[in-house]
Structure 1
Amino acid sequence: MKIDSKPLRYAHAEGHTDVCYTEDGKHIITCGHDGDVRIWLDIEDDDPNSHCVGENALAVCFKDNRLFVATDNHAVQAYTFPAFDKDGIISRFTAPVTQIMSKPKIEVLGCTSENMEAKICSLEGGAPLFVMSDHKGPVLSVAICPHMKYACTASGDGALRIWDIDTQKVVKEVSCVPKINTFFAAKVLCRMDFEPSEGKYLAYPHNREIIILDSESWSQRMTFTHNTIKCAISQCLFSPCGQYLAGSTVAGQIAVWEVDSGTCIGIIEHPTSHKVSAMAWNPKGNGMLVYCDVAGQLGMLVNCYGKDSKGADEDDIEMVERAEGDDDEILDNLIENYESDDDNAISLEKIKNETLGITDKGDSRPVSVVPPPALATVPPQAPFQPSATPIHLEHRYMCWNDVGIVRCHTGENGESSIDVEFHDSGVHHGIHLNNYLNHTMASLSSHVLALACETPSKLVCISLVGSSKEWSVSMPDTEEILCVVATSGLVACATNARLLRLFTPCGTQRQVISLAGPVVALAGFNTTVIATYHHTDPGLSDQHLAMDIVALNGRQVRSKTVLLPLTPGSKLSWLGTTDVGSPCAYDNTGVLRLYDVASGVWMPICDSTTHSKGASDSWFIVSISESTQKVRAILCRGTSFPLTVPKPIVAELSIQIPLCELDTEKGQYEEQLVRWAHTTSEVDVKTARETALKLFALACRSEIEQRALELMELLKDDRLLPLAAKYASRLGRMHLADKLSNLAETWERDADKFNVAQNSHFQELETQETYDVTNTEQDLNASLIIPQKTVKKRIESDTPIKPVPIKSSPGGARNPFRKQQDTAKVVQSPLTLTERTLVEVHATEEQTENNDPLQPTEGETFVDWFSRNKPTLEKENPTLTPSELTRHCVRTFKGLQTKNTDNGLKRKLNDSTEETPVTNASKQSKLSAFAFSKKT
């Protein structure tokens, strides 16, 4: 049967590419100039598993369920298969490794390098068994005979040398290699091979032919060539059975010969005439040959044995299976014919039927039941540092955020240094450090630079405020740091013992917290730490992550746990906060999500793929600003991380919530209203009202009056309502104008019932908030040394216990993570889409000192005012029932509020404390609610 070639597949970037098979022949493994190792199920696998091992990988070999890869740090690195975990370094060189080879009958590795050395190494590493160092040029290839008696090397000095492994001397030298001074300039690789069964032949390429040498006398036995071969042969390779020999030329031709007869079975021309850089036979012996070229393409030849690719091995297996089937049939017949009726006799058929639960129906036989294989899950995501590039790079970013950039540079001699560049030179001048401890993690804030390493695990911090003192702390026993984060108020690190260790910026150990799973990443803002970890094992395609928000205030600690959503089949790529403290997460599919602490929901705010031009482009997140509604990121073309040289350009992506039909005017206005309601944006009141009115106008012009009325009921803005009614009347929508005119009276009439019912509902829900701690002034000023129980007893003896008044919230249960308002200037949002109100949006003037005990203070809610003045109000109205007293007090409270307003307009209950600001108010963290504000 004629040799057939399958279409080429893109495997790696252009450059030298290597390929090998697993020992069972089920997987193809390739590595290339892009530094990736890919595992293919077949040549038609559209989604191979890819693992990055460095900037480039020149050679790969599979042996005993382990992968051996030549990495860019001039080492032979072992990996487990299929988990692909690092499993030690087999050997090191001072120049790039050019080939790694092994055979089924030998338990060693043959390695060659550009430093003019070749080694025979043990699979477990350690000192090499044999070092061949007499070369005067880069070593291109190596071969070892099955009996470990001889080894052969080809060098760039023009010679092919045959070594006696026992005496470690050269027994024969042949001039057949074109002279070169570097591996990367070699056109002919001169890859030779010993006959795999007994090692009685050595095949090596020479010009346009392959020469076979006898392994006993080293005399020439035969040659293989063909008249269609018009250029030099670069490599040759025996089939697993030793009966066929394949060779490839520098122009991409691949020829297969039968060794015994010397006939050429066929020659395949490369579609693009690129040089073949590596070949590998399928160990199953089915006549399949895979190859790759210098353009990074992967190809396959089938029927290389001159017959169907279902080789002799598979035929033998089928014959064995048929023989076993015949034996089973004979055995069944014997059991059926000679089965005894005696009660003491053992019936195999009966035992099988009872075990499998099958009743006997004539001559039917039970079918064997094979349990289904367990479904494989994706491996758990390893811990990482946000805004950092891979550790194996010689020049990498350790951290890039809105404060500055931390770079790490590793030289060829192994020496490493760290450079710190600040965006604002007023914060601190640049820093240059010698990386003696080999720090691999870094985090930078305006107050401290934190550095950490895994082994020996040590945290080193440099204070950027004051005298720039340095402090360090070592982890206990075998505990290793996996993640580190530094903020303006603390430093935190997560370890492999699932502990979160918190420190002050000056080095005081603050707290140790146990995490509920293996850590993935850390982030922080002011005195709040965000820890992401695996809360359960990963599923078939998804990572199951959770996030702990831990806030500190003095000696108090408070935490909240939320689940972290990801796109199906994705991993977490970045974790951080906005400029006002909202937690954000970014996955490798390009979706950025923001956690709104006020409502407790995750919202997608940006899809970076819509800003990419190519399918392989990705974005490297730097920082997020809610005030400007921008995401600062770096575009990485064809990679997932930016290069250090040249310095990349930071672009700004707009925050946009992915509502439906964003290409329409209605969808754009709706997106603006939703985004302004859940983020702290620099939007003035006039722009917000104009957008809402435009959306109202669209509903009116579309003759959907019910939607227009629904929008006004949703916004509940007293100032916007007259404008909407006036616009409806001008359009002739008198029925809608009448409804809008009556809407304000309806809000006023229903306000009392709404507040009373809602207050009782919120009070019931707030009793379930076990993580909220009510603090008194004595608690906040208490010493850390005094036990907590002692302080409580002293307080109880001094003052009686009083119930703390509970504030109402228009959105449901009170959220302890709600953003606190500035006490001097309170601004309400007209766009907070809750089931309560979006009323008056204007800043209140500073109130004068209030001497009247019934006069409400600024920012005081009805519940606080009612609790404070309840005894006085009961004395003034002794004849009223509790419900009548509540209604009377609501009217009194609103009347007192109206007197305090300068413009005479009515304001809705609780607006001064519950609405979200959208105007240019003072910037404040959304996580500031973790701070324990004193309740009066």
Structure 2
Amino acid sequence: MKIDSKPLRYAHAEGHTDVCYSENGQNIITCGNDGDVRIWVDIDDDDPNSHCVGESAVSVCYKEKRLYVATDNHAVQAYTYPAFDKDGIVTRFTASVTQIKSTNKIEALGCTSENMEAKICSLEGGAPLFVMKEHTGPVLSIAICPHMKYASTACGDGKLRVWDIDTQKIVKEISCVPKINTFYAAKVLCRMDFEPTEGKYLAYPNNREIILLDCESWGQRMAFTHNLIKCAISQCVFSPCGEYLAGSTVAGQIAVWETGSGTCTGIIEHPTSHNVSAMAWNPKGNGVLAYCDVAGQLGMLVNCYGKDSSKFGADSEDIEMVERDNDDGDVVDDLIENYESDDDNAISLEKIKNETLGITKEREQDESRPASRRDTPAPATVPPQPPFQPSATPVHLEHRYMCWNDIGIVRCHTQENGESTIDVEFHDTNLHHGIHLNNYLNHTMASLSSTVVALACETPSKLVCISLVGSSKEWSASMPDTEEILCIAAASGLVACGTNARLLRLFTPLGTQRQVISLAGPVVTLGGFNTTVFAVYHSTDPGLSDQHLAMDIIAINGRQVRSKTVALPLSPSSRLTWLGATDAGAVTACDSAGTLRLYDVASALWMPLCDTHAHARGASDTWFIVSVSETTQKVRAILCRGASFPATVPKPIVSELPIQIPLCELDTEKSQYEEQLVRWAHTTADVDVKTARETALKLFALACRSEIEQRALELMELLKDDRLLPLAAKYASRLGRVHLADKLTNLAETWEKDDKLNVAQNSHFTELDTQETYDVTNAEEDLNASLIIPQKVKEKKLEAETSLKPVPIKSSPGRARNIFKKQASSTKNGPSPLSLTERTLVEVHNPADASENDDPLTPIGSETFVDWFTRNKSVLETQNPGLGPSELTRHGIKLFKTVQGKNAASSENGPKRKLDEDSNGTDPVVSNAPKQSKLSSFAFQKKDK
């Protein structure tokens, strides 16, 4: 008789769910994320007894007419059964309790917690019998030997430890647990179990198989696996008789093996492929196995063992048997298929096949090796990382963050009746006021930018956006029938959504469909900045421990669309946890190992910026990244103690972590200066050039004092700064390094020769050269740029020095200008706009004045001294090379007054007569001469007299 699975039914809210049986096997007891403990008569019970114990309940255990529940207040609470009255607290922890376990033959409870501790406690409470403290991560599970001799724990630091309870020491340590930082992020719980009758064996999951250890020698005795198991096994549990072993995978598969022969009696596939969070055998020994999954559903398997289950062992496609030789098997199969006879001897071929190729082969294997172990299966791969939203907390929480970035915070609050609301809070209230809306469509994804709030839901898949520009208009876009949104991203110039059809759909902030792009793999997450979108997807299937991710950088500039595909690096055995852009537009990504990386477009390389785990106190502490600033060289993040995400109440405090390139020997002064130079060169840091030169000079001084002249010379060649070179030569001469000073003096001439060769030989590739985000140029000064002075700082200074100012509009004291009057030189060909200087720009706008004033020092119209001095500064410096800045200014004031006086004296006759002649007495006289005060006019007349 094959294993049969009963239909799943709703038991608790989505989240970790636990199950156990009462000692008589008549009731099923479950607890879940909704904080309720339910007592079922059977899985078909439509009205189970429900008792609320708090906001959440992680684990439940039945022992001697009492229930022990792990509540949300980090305690193990005892309740009477079936009255369900509180009966004291067994023990307390400083973090969440992850499992409570006991067996029929022991009078104690095994309890584990996220605070890196495990305890063996008495049923009546009091001081614990044994505390296991040598863990460096959250403890996931515990198992106790029926003779109370050994205990086993699985920890998030990657270790499974076996403890001797009498000596309270570790007797065995195995690396088989995937490393995680919190219990709630663990998919593989590594729930192990001791053989319940004698405690001779310990079974624990290890990737796609279950290993059986001998408790005397701690050597491997047997391994259980199956060719249909495609992912990691999360937990295993012995039947009450100890003859059968059940295991469950992270994809919901449940398999049962016979412990004696190692034969798999059957595998059941989960209908929705959810991870099984707990399993429990019925103590009656009737072959019934109850289980719960992370979706809060309760299921049951019947006929899990029985002698009839061995009869269908010939079905080789579903049940794994002992491996046989392919050639012999094919011959026997042909004989069976082609032989047709009613004689009783016809079945002897099948008997011979089973006996010779089955039993005989199994005996030979048993004799050849001491432990009956199957051939090693194909190496298993980690499951692909599912899509996620950066800076968001899990969806199943009642109060969660949907988005938290440098613009604001989006929160979602779900009530007990199912109603949901969304609150949007902006950091800068001048940008926009807060938004409160009802979540009728059950939005699970959100993204926020300075121009739009984007919301999306999976089913029915619909994108809803609220524009923050203008009158806050709302628009929406529904996906096709078979397409679901998996992640979204909002930037100031674009809104993007990735779907399960491997499509990237781009919209403008006001709802215009901009582009549809096909991705090369399943989407993982999205990010954006201005009009650029970063799409991360699976480039290939995951490996044994690593995710293989790639990223498309898609930049839109008007009608042009440019893209670049780069590989996304991750730390070993980690996954991507955050993706975003800095305030300067550079792509940044962080993995579960805590390493933050930045992608430099100019060099097309990823650089590690910060190790967030180095700033955490405990092994289970993580940092929830909010934003990254290149200007201030800080990472804004929230410290989550013992968890991977922050709580909504109270509102967490955002901390600032420094950006630091992980160079070697950072505790030395030399490495600290080197780290500053490298960081300033590859990030848009708000650093003073003077400070950068001082740091470089200090590094040069350290090389000189260490008597390593070649390193000092190499440093100056690397920095390539003309202004720093004389300072370094002067310092070298003071230290008596005459040869070094001579080489530094001759270094400038060498640079001039090398510059010409570099310009001729080097050809820079063009990368996403859009105006909004990336600026990669091929100019000659870029090839010869200094390492310590970032190019972006130079460009800002250049713009500040040569910024074009608007030409002042001439005043018309008499009446308004005749705008229809044609200018004689209006069709004159001016210089190319690409080569316009400030002076030529003025001349183009005032062709008549330029033709009359041949002298460039003559003021144009009512030009002020500041405008005149700015326009003629280069001419004055050429005429007076020996004057300093202040002396040049004083000379310019004197010259301006002299030229202005001459212009005023000549305007009394010349301009007026010319205007009278041109106007023929029809237009009023208009003078452009500067006005003089009454007192100055009076003094001028008095001087003439």
Band of TM-score, shorter chain: 0.5 to 0.7
Deviation at 1:847, TM superposition (A): 8.7
Note the alpha carbon deviations across 1:79-107, whole angstroms, 9 max, x for none: xxxxxxxxx7534589998855499999x
1:685 aligned residue:
689
State the distance in 2 between where 1:659 and 1:688 align.
18
Q: 1:286 to 1:274 in 2, by over 3 A?
A: closer
Paired residue secondary structure (2:480) = coil
Q: Which one of 709, 716, 725 corresponds to residue 721 of structure 1?
A: 725
> After the TM superposition, which residues 161-180 of structure 1 pair with which residues of structure 2 at under 5 Å, given as runs?
none
Q: 1:544 to 1:64 in 2, by over 3 A?
A: farther
Greater mean deviation of Cα atoms: 183-192 or 647-656: 183-192
* TM-score under structure 2 length normalisation: 0.53
AA aligned opposite 1:728: A
Paired residue secondary structure (1:130) = coil
> After the TM superposition, which residues 557-596 of structure 1 pair with which residues of structure 2 at under 5 Å, given as runs?
557-596=561-600
1:272 aligned residue:
128
> After the TM superposition, which residues 638-649 of structure 1 pair with which residues of structure 2 at under 5 Å, given as runs?
638-649=642-653
The answer to whether the 8 Å contact 1:830/1:839 transfers is: no
The answer to whether the 8 Å contact 1:251/1:274 transfers is: no
Deviation at 1:391, TM superposition (A): 0.7
Asked whether 1:459 is paired with 2:463, we answer yes
2:437 aligned residue:
433
Asked whether 1:708 is paired with 2:708, we answer no
Asked whether 1:831 is paired with 2:787, we answer yes
Q: 1:663 to 1:186 in 2, by over 3 A?
A: closer
The answer to whether the 8 Å contact 1:847/1:858 transfers is: no
Paired residue secondary structure (1:547) = strand
Asked whether 1:699 is paired with 2:590, we answer no
* TM-score under structure 1 length normalisation: 0.54
The answer to whether the 8 Å contact 2:110/2:143 transfers is: no
2:10 aligned residue:
90
AA aligned opposite 1:830: S
State the distance in 1 between where 2:380 and 2:110 align.
42
1:659 aligned residue:
663
Q: Which one of 802, 815, 819 corresponds to residue 846 of structure 1?
A: 802
Q: 1:94 to 1:820 in 2, by over 3 A?
A: closer
Q: Which one of 114, 120, 130 corresponds to residue 45 of structure 2?
A: 130
Paired residue secondary structure (2:78) = coil
Asked whether 1:603 is paired with 2:601, we answer no
Note the alpha carbon deviations across 1:800-851, whole angstroms, 9 max, x for none: xxxxxxxxxxxxxxxx9435799xx9999632699x99999964742999x9
1:732 aligned residue:
736
1:187 aligned residue:
78
Q: Which one of 410, 413, 416 corresponds to residue 414 of structure 2?
A: 410
AA aligned opposite 1:272: P
State the distance in 1 between where 2:735 and 2:151 align.
78
State the distance in 2 between where 1:577 and 1:733 align.
47
> After the TM superposition, which residues 849-864 of structure 1 pair with which residues of structure 2 at under 5 Å, given as runs?
857=835
Note the residue ranges of structure 2 that are not aligned, 5 or more in a row: 55-60, 88-99, 112-121, 132-139, 155-182, 184-188, 202-213, 215-240, 246-257, 264-327, 329-352, 358-366, 806-828, 838-873, 883-945
State the distance in 2 between where 1:580 and 1:320 align.
60
State the distance in 1 between where 2:832 and 2:440 align.
68
Q: Which one of 520, 525, 549 corresponds to residue 521 of structure 1?
A: 525
Deviation at 1:712, TM superposition (A): 1.1
The answer to whether the 8 Å contact 1:387/1:399 transfers is: yes
Note the alpha carbon deviations across 1:864-902, whole angstroms, 9 max, x for none: xxxxxxxxxxxxxxxxxxxxxxxxxxxxxxxxxx99998
Deviation at 1:190, TM superposition (A): 3.6
Note the alpha carbon deviations across 1:49-93, whole angstroms, 9 max, x for none: xxxxxxxxxxxxxx9899xxxxxxxxxxx9xxxxxxxxx753458
**Considering only aligned residues, what root-mean-square deviation do their CA atoms show, in Å?**
5.8
The answer to whether the 8 Å contact 1:118/1:139 transfers is: no
Asked whether 1:450 is paired with 2:365, we answer no
Paired residue secondary structure (2:454) = strand
State the distance in 2 between where 1:720 and 1:817 align.
29
Paired residue secondary structure (1:436) = coil
1:621 aligned residue:
625
State the distance in 2 between where 1:495 and 1:651 align.
34
Asked whether 1:386 is paired with 2:390, we answer yes
Note the alpha carbon deviations across 1:695-739, whole angstroms, 9 max, x for none: 111111111111111111112211111111111111111111111
AA aligned opposite 1:616: S
Greater mean deviation of Cα atoms: 308-317 or 747-756: 308-317
What is the aligned-residue identity percentage? 56
Note the alpha carbon deviations across 1:257-305, whole angstroms, 9 max, x for none: xxxxxxxxx9999971599xx999999999999999xxx9999996864
The answer to whether the 8 Å contact 2:12/2:31 transfers is: no
AA aligned opposite 2:426: F
> After the TM superposition, which residues 231-310 of structure 1 pair with which residues of structure 2 at under 5 Å, given as runs?
246=105, 248=107, 272=128, 305=197, 308=200
State the distance in 2 between where 1:702 and 1:655 align.
29
Note the residue ranges of structure 1 that are not aligned, 5 or more in a row: 1-62, 67-77, 79-87, 123-128, 141-153, 161-175, 193-203, 208-234, 240-244, 253-265, 322-334, 336-350, 356-364, 781-815, 860-897, 906-936
Asked whether 1:479 is paired with 2:464, we answer no
Q: 1:385 to 1:671 in 2, by over 3 A?
A: same
State the distance in 1 between where 2:79 and 2:244 align.
35
Note the alpha carbon deviations across 1:182-219, whole angstroms, 9 max, x for none: 99996344489xxxxxxxxxxx99x9xxxxxxxxxxxx
Asked whether 1:636 is paired with 2:640, we answer yes
Q: Which one of 472, 486, 489 corresponds to residue 468 of structure 1?
A: 472
Deviation at 1:178, TM superposition (A): 11
Q: 1:435 to 1:724 in 2, by over 3 A?
A: same
Deviation at 1:751, TM superposition (A): 3.0
Deviation at 1:510, TM superposition (A): 0.6
The answer to whether the 8 Å contact 2:38/2:50 transfers is: no
State the distance in 2 between where 1:466 and 1:320 align.
70
Q: Which one of 545, 549, 557 corresponds to residue 549 of structure 2?
A: 545
Deviation at 1:685, TM superposition (A): 1.4
2:347 aligned residue:
none
The answer to whether the 8 Å contact 1:116/1:137 transfers is: yes
Q: 1:246 to 1:840 in 2, by over 3 A?
A: closer
Number of residue pairs the alignment of both structures matches: 593
Q: Which one of 808, 815, 818 corresponds to residue 775 of structure 2?
A: 818
AA aligned opposite 2:128: T
The answer to whether the 8 Å contact 1:287/1:305 transfers is: no
The answer to whether the 8 Å contact 1:471/1:507 transfers is: yes
State the distance in 1 between where 2:794 and 2:466 align.
48
Q: 1:102 to 1:375 in 2, by over 3 A?
A: farther
AA aligned opposite 2:538: H
2:176 aligned residue:
none
AA aligned opposite 2:505: R
Deviation at 1:475, TM superposition (A): 0.5
Deviation at 1:749, TM superposition (A): 3.0
Asked whether 1:502 is paired with 2:478, we answer no
AA aligned opposite 2:775: R
Q: 1:750 to 1:369 in 2, by over 3 A?
A: same
Paired residue secondary structure (1:661) = coil
Asked whether 1:669 is paired with 2:673, we answer yes
2:814 aligned residue:
none
State the distance in 1 between where 2:141 and 2:743 align.
81
> After the TM superposition, which residues 794-813 of structure 1 pair with which residues of structure 2 at under 5 Å, given as runs?
none
Q: 1:417 to 1:830 in 2, by over 3 A?
A: same
Paired residue secondary structure (1:673) = helix
State the distance in 2 between where 1:474 and 1:313 align.
55
